[in-house]
Amino acid sequence: MTEMIATRAAYGEALARLGDMNTAVVVLDADLSASTRTVEFAKRHPDRFIQMGIAEQDMMGTAAGLAASGKIAFASTFAVFASGRAFDQVRNAICYSRLNVKICATHAGLTVGEDGASHQSIEDIALMRAVPNMTVVVPSDAVQTAWAVNAAAALDGPVYMRLGRAPVPVIYGEGQEFVLGKAQKLHAGNDVTIVACGIMVSRALAAAGALAEQGIGARVLDMHTIKPLDVDAIRAAATETGAIVTVEEHSIIGGLGGAVCEAVCELHPAPVVRVGVRDQFGKSGKPDELLAAYGLTTDEIARAARQAISMKTATARIV
Amino acid sequence: MTAAHRKLDNLTAFVDSNRLQIDGPVADIKSMEQIGDRFAAFGWHVVEIDGHDIAAIMAALAEARNTQGRPTVIVARTVKGKGVSFMENRVGWHGTAPKPDQVQAAVAELDASGEGGDAE
């Protein structure tokens, strides 16, 4: 039985361990510490934890000030608040000055669940990657989250890390290589490439398994870093497999799908079919029911892969 | 709220209260009466002064330095464009650069009243 751990839980643990090792790390939260799991750090390092209350814009401005004073500031709240409510402070205080603030936003996407549309961010990747100086990373499992936390701390500059509420399967083992900006290839194949991020990576792997049974070889890429995108891996996918599917717990507009389309069109045009939320608000429900209702399923990924392959034979070949 | 809650007594804010904004007087757009009372309600120490009185500014800063346990706001009542007859208390000069002849006239008025300082 595969272990199931929420990326927010892995974040809480990794952040507390980071705090043990690096005294420059300070953590801020906006009244959601029990949910974002920054409470782990707060318990171990109360003198370096700043509870800002329900004031996300104030939190981002304060994080910017702390970073400007030489700290490595981790600021957490829900993704919808981090990217939406506090957007101006993220843009003008943090990114314009290229400050060392790591925005680790939890409860992203539909799997927030019962809180419903107002809290289900399906646009945060789109917003954050459009801001200059921002690195955008979407870890797919607990192990990768811990790597990402350390990589974010080591990177000089702003980071937006997207984390989830719901437990997800562990994919990675200790000791594997992780580099920000370098996609991890999880399944080999040359008929189509499935580029996924976050919770959809494990479903992409399941889809690759189903496609293999139909004799279709699907390459699966875990594109954890949306910005900077691993354009070499995208170019290779386009030239070597000729058809691409993107999968994300996010709108098909402006997120991973948007980023991949931008790269593919410029580097080596190939059909791209985007799987994600189809420009709709979410709704209140159980996480798994929502994923099914909005088509974020293994079956839909496999269907999209077959569609991309069929488009491949219809488009002119660019050699 | 954060500054008062965290007792940040090394923080002093100035409000340059000239009662004008781009599209008109503040009172017509979104009236902001009793600025000091609003800050006091949030836990700040309030000092209200004539913003053109240098001695009053210095005294207010000293009071801020001596205030423990809370941040200080100095609400400075000012006249926008003070000392230049065609700018004083007039809407329309926000972000509007005066033309060369207007600059000349303005500097002449300021020099005459002794408010201009060194216009080098």
* Encoded tokens for A191: 């008929």
Spell out the residues 6+ positions from residue A59 whose beta carbon is closer than 8 angstroms to its own: A28, A29, A30, A52, A75, A77, A86
Residues of chain B with C-beta less than 8 angstroms from the C-beta of A58? 1-2
- Residue B116 predicted with pLDDT over 70: no
Question: Cβ separation of B1 and A53 shorter than 8 Å?
Answer: yes
Indicate the average pLDDT of chain A. Answer: 97
Is B68 touching A (CB cutoff 8 A)? no
Residues of chain B with C-beta less than 8 angstroms from the C-beta of A60? none
Q: Can you point out the beta strands (E) in A261-316?
A: 272-277
pLDDT at residue number A125:
98
- Residue A100 predicted with pLDDT over 80: yes
**Which one of A13, A40, A56, A289 is the catalytic residue?**
A56
ipTM above 0.85, yes or no: yes
List pLDDT tens digits, range A230-266.
Answer: 999 999 999 999 999 999 999 999 999 999 999 999 9
Question: Cβ separation of A62 and B1 shorter than 8 Å?
Answer: no
Residues of chain A with C-beta less than 8 angstroms from the C-beta of B2? 52-53, 55, 58, 62
Give the pLDDT band (50/70/90) at residue A315. Answer: low
Give the pLDDT band (50/70/90) at residue B118. Answer: low
pLDDT at residue number A319:
46
pLDDT at residue number B117:
57
Q: Could you confirm whether A56 is annotated as catalytic? A: yes
Residue whose C-alpha is closest to residue A294's, from A109, A115, A125? A109
Residue whose C-alpha is closest to residue A86's, from A23, A38, A45, A128? A128
* Encoded tokens for A280: 């709709």
Query: What CA–CA distance (Å, rounded) separates A266 from A48?
Result: 45
Q: Any bridge partners for residue A73, and if so which?
A: A26, A101
Residue-wise burial string across A160-180, b where 16 or more C-beta atoms lie within 10 A, e elsewhere: bbbbbbbbbbbbbeeeeebeb
Beta carbon pairs, A and B, within 8 Å? 8
Estimate to the nearest angstrom the gap between the alpha carbon of A161 and the chain centroid.
6
Name the pTM for this structure. 0.95
Q: Can you point out the beta strands (E) in chain A?
A: 4-6, 25-29, 49-51, 72-78, 101-106, 135-137, 159-162, 167-169, 184-187, 192-196, 218-222, 225-227, 244-251, 272-277
* Encoded tokens for B41: 């309600």
Give the pLDDT band (50/70/90) at residue B120. Answer: very low
